[in-house]
Amino acid sequence: MLRDWGSRDQAFIDLTAELTARLLTVAHGEGNHVAVPLQGSGTFIVEAAIATLVRPDDSLLVLSNGAYGERMIAIARRLGRRVEALRWPEDRPVNPISLDQALFSDRSITHVAVVHCETTSGLLNPLGEIAQVVARHGRALLVDAMSSFGALPLDAEAMVLTSVMASGNKCLESVPGVAFAVIAKQALLAARHNCPSLSFDLYDQWRAFEASGQWRFTPPVQVVAALVSALRRLEAEGGPTVRCERYYRNFKILDDGMRELGFRAFLQPTVQSPIIATFRQPTERWFNFSRFYRSLATKGFVIYPGKLTTAATFRIGCIGAIEAAHFVGLLRSVETVMAELRDGRRTPGEEPRARYHLAPSMAA
């Protein structure tokens, strides 16, 4: 990131080519797919993929069991696309049998969209079974794989996925600022002139890469360089399977330890992904989430508020360049903070409003 890349320079053109090649490899899309990066956060690429691939006469069915499924519905509505939803509670996976019935009874549905790992809760949807149903009905499947890409198993070709959308700052462990879609080449070729937005047109974005190897509009060069580095690190670690095992180890230590401390997990183990864990907030009167959060942050651990509509929860992520020792340290801090809250004590050094959160290594 500290190198001053020229966005139209050959070195950066080579870097972009390495980026798309590596993304295709991770997605198992080397045969029939193309990788199209886009400036922006994850939502940008979800919006761009829907805008580019779903035509005005098409009909999109969104399978939703959390905030990110709902976001795809909102995006399609904004774009003026025909959209319907099949919904499940936030702790229930998408049911492929209901999907089968929906596709059987409504022939007008052309596209199906689903979130692979619903980061709202940490729930893992059965992507393989969903993809089989969609392929059997000959419809197109768009997958928001934001929080699973690079760790959980996904095969764009074998699963016949029309589009896989993700970003660099989740399981790829890079910095935010670039997102991408891995799209079936035939579907993208058929999507010319379809996108109502100029900047979000992934067909045009792809044609520019094809024509010159360059980005259509100014790329965040440092962010792209970081993502290529991160993809090299993923390969060096042993690829998604090995990375996923590390996340599982993280998750297991966290889950066991939190249960031991008396916390209750929100999800059943059968639907739990190793990406992020949701815990119910303790119901004791002395528990106060913002103090819990701030005390942990003072100790170097920044957790995540809950995003569920139904229950008071909080979340702890298991992804990133973190491993067992970090979770052992986290659990020790959770235990300390809970004792402080129970006894009405304050963390030594805890500011009422912590302004800077330093990782322990940086604070040292």
Ligand X SMILES: *Cc1c(COP(=O)(O)O)cnc(C)c1O
- Convert residues 146-185 into a mask of x (bound to ligand X by CB under 6 A) and - (unbound): xx-------------------x------------------
Count of positions on this chain that bind ligand X (CB under 6 A): 11
Percent of residues in the chain assigned helix, strand, coil, to nearest 5: 40, 15, 40
Q: Using an 8 Å Cβ cutoff, are 92 and 117 in contact?
A: no
Angle between helices 202-212 and 42-53 (to 10 degrees): 100
Residue 115 Cβ vs ligand X, minimum distance, rounded to whole Å: 5
Nearer to ligand X, 146 or 202 (CB): 146
Q: Per rule CB under 6 A, is residue 47 in the interface with ligand X?
A: no
Integer Rg of the chain from CA: 21
Nearer to ligand X, 52 or 167 (CB): 167
Tokens of 337: 């903070």
Answer yes or no: are the C-beta atoms of 217 and 162 closer than 8 Å.
Answer: no
Residue with token string 């183990």: 269
Q: Spell out the alpha helix ranges (H) of 89-212.
A: 96-105, 127-136, 185-189, 202-212
Per-residue string for binding with ligand X, 49-88, x by CB under 6 A?
Answer: -------------------x--------------------
Output 170 or 299, the one with its CB closest to ligand X: 170
Distance CA 229, CA 223 (A): 10
Q: Residues near 105 by Cβ (< 8 Å), separated by ≥ 6?
A: none
Closest CA to 111 of 42, 63, 74: 63
Q: Could you say whether residue 123 binds ligand X (CB under 6 A)? A: no
In 177-274 the beta strands, taken as DSSP E runs, fall at 178-184
Cβ proximity to ligand X, 41 vs 222, nearer residue: 41
Only segment of 41-49, 189-197, 255-263, 314-322 that touches ligand X (CB under 6 A)? 41-49
Closest chain position to ligand X (CB): 42
The answer to whether residue 42 forms part of the interface with ligand X (CB under 6 A) is yes
If one counts every other C-beta atom within 10 angstroms of the C-beta of residue 309, the result is 11
Nearer to ligand X, 58 or 144 (CB): 144
Q: Which is nearer to ligand X, 65 or 347 (CB)?
A: 65
Tell me whether residue 118 or residue 201 sits nearer to ligand X (CB atom).
Answer: 118
The count of other CB atoms within 10 Å of the CB of residue 349 is: 9
By CB under 6 A, which span of 40-48, 231-239, 298-306, 338-346 interacts with ligand X?
Answer: 40-48
Binding ligand X by CB under 6 A: which of 16, 20, 39, 43? 43
Distance CA 138, CA 135 (A): 5
Q: Which two tokens stand for residue 56?
A: 């005005």
For residue 267, the number of C-alpha atoms closer than 13 Å in the C-beta half-sphere is 30
Work out whether 304 is an interface residue with ligand X (CB under 6 A). no
Judged by CB under 6 A, does residue 278 bind ligand X? Answer: no
Stretch that binds ligand X, among 142-150, 209-217, 237-245, 313-321 (CB under 6 A): 142-150
115 binds ligand X (CB under 6 A): yes
**Lookup result for tokens 């670039």:** 178
Q: Pick from 59, 119, 313, 347 the residue near ligand X by CB under 6 A.
A: 119
Smallest gap from residue 285 Cβ to ligand X (A):
33
Pick 146 or 334: Cβ nearer ligand X? 146
Binding site for ligand X (CB under 6 A): 41-43, 46, 68, 115, 119, 144, 146-147, 167
